[in-house]
Chains A and B, each alone.
Chain A
């Protein structure tokens, strides 16, 4: 319980810290919003050229990107410390995480933040809200959409962490960690409508990148509680795998006796 309190206190402090330089904060936020608009434009043009695919319209792609951006925003606003893990391990400064009286994962996650990710977070919330309102969501639709997106956030944190844990097995792994994350991220930015069945299953289970983007829309369009349950089960499996790998990895850590 103390660890969770610590995590929220640290996150609140991070937001205050980011906002202290308000000009820099808003430049970063607006820059990221413009950056994300690129994907809306690209896929809107694509859908305009192809017309609706498998029942998906450009508005569904809008909702999908909203979920995707939201997941990315959550990950990089509140769990950004994971991204710095390879550097911490390399420099031997991971000691501070291990010696802390709070949970190592929560301590690590909240140790850093990205200003631009708050732009993702804000835009994600606005887009998701607009998608729900303009589609005339019922209560169950809201539950499906939000639950699916939350599962996506959890999976994204798991994969970011799994990629970063490579640092315990390999030297100078920050680039490899980034490459692994890109491998995970890229397919999630394609409209869920264009995935053939086999690829869809692969990207929902073995490399569950679609959970962070298209799956909330699959759940909505199919009005499928079964798919939501399946998504939650897959998420739980990945949480367990990540937990096990995290435990194994930190046992391999050797302090660099870095003097501070």
Chain B
């Protein structure tokens, strides 16, 4: 375990040398955050009835959390797999003492940790100072603890989703189409651009009980009735983690047999 944290630490330290990149990423994040705040405030002024579906502060927090988590970059795992498969470099990584999949996950985490922390700090500060805290039916400490739990579980689920997309490249050669479909389903059902509270009831249920919505469940945790759905959200994520862990184990064993070394 210590070895893994050290691996992440080394990658994070290296990525800090690309300060310019992180500064631009955060500039982009803050710009988009402020833009979103301003735009949705206007929408709520134009159509006050949408506040019945979701209060303004909760809508803003929900979308900004989606984009903060996005910077962790676990959705980029598929691209790394794809590049290695297409370039034929995959065998180089397979000779190392840590398994190929773990190397890629830890590298993504190492590269994403700084942008993620920065984006979260910016999101929380800007949202807090502009719209205040989202209205919640549960106490603040309990809510924060639930957020941490949901964040950790949903990131495990999202990792499995994109690892599976990447592994499909061993059969498809180019797994980009798998990525397109998965990322867009996560985008719609995770409430990226429009909170799912705006969707019809049946779509909200699909979002809540699908792996794609579960992978971005942190955005649902910003809704006022979150306490009523807490248990179902957690159970849904755990259920999908178990399913995808089994599939990943099965598929990753098959990939070793599928690998063709170019020499």
Residues of chain A at the chain B interface (Cβ within 8 Å): 24, 27-28, 31-32, 34-35, 38, 41-43, 45-46, 48-51, 53-54, 170, 175-176, 179-180, 182-183, 186-187, 189-190, 194-196, 199
Contacts and interface: CB of A to CB of B under 8 A. Distances in A.
Contacts of A38: 184, 187-188
Contact of B194 (A27, A28, A45, A170): A45
B46 A45 contact: no
Contacts of B177: 27, 31
Contacts of B43: 50, 53, 194
A42 B24 contact: no
B113 to A, nearest CB: 17
Nearest to A46: B194
A187 B193 CA distance: 11
24 contacts: A28-B176, A34-B184, A35-B180, A35-B184, A38-B187, A42-B192, A45-B198, A46-B194, A48-B200, A49-B50, A49-B53, A49-B194, A50-B46, A51-B47, A54-B46, A179-B24, A179-B25, A182-B28, A183-B27, A183-B31, A194-B42, A196-B39, A196-B42, A199-B42
B20 interface: yes
Contacts, number: 83
Given A38-B188, A50-B47, A194-B46, A179 B28 contact: yes
Contacts of A54: 46
A151 B180 CA distance: 29
Contacts of B27: 179, 183
Nearest to A32: B180
A187 B46 CA distance: 19
Contacts of B6: none
A53 B47 contact: yes
B180 A34 contact: yes
Contacts of B35: 186-187, 199
Nearest to A179: B24
Contacts of A41: 188
Contacts of B25: 179
A176 B38 contact: no
B174 interface: yes
A46 B198 contact: yes
A89 B243 CA distance: 47
B38 A199 contact: yes
B256 to A, nearest CB: 26
Nearest to A194: B43
Nearest to B35: A187
A195 B42 CA distance: 7
A175 B28 CA distance: 12
Given A176-B20, A183-B31, A190-B39, A31 B203 contact: no
A35 B46 CA distance: 30
A27 B180 CA distance: 11
Contact of B39 (A35, A49, A50, A199): A199
Interface in B188-202: 188, 192-194, 198-200
- 9 nearest A-B pairs in the assembled complex, by CB-CB distance: A49-B198, A38-B184, A31-B177, A196-B42, A179-B24, A50-B47, A46-B194, A35-B180, A175-B21
Interface in B19-74: 20-21, 24-25, 27-28, 31-32, 35, 38-39, 42-43, 46-47, 50, 53
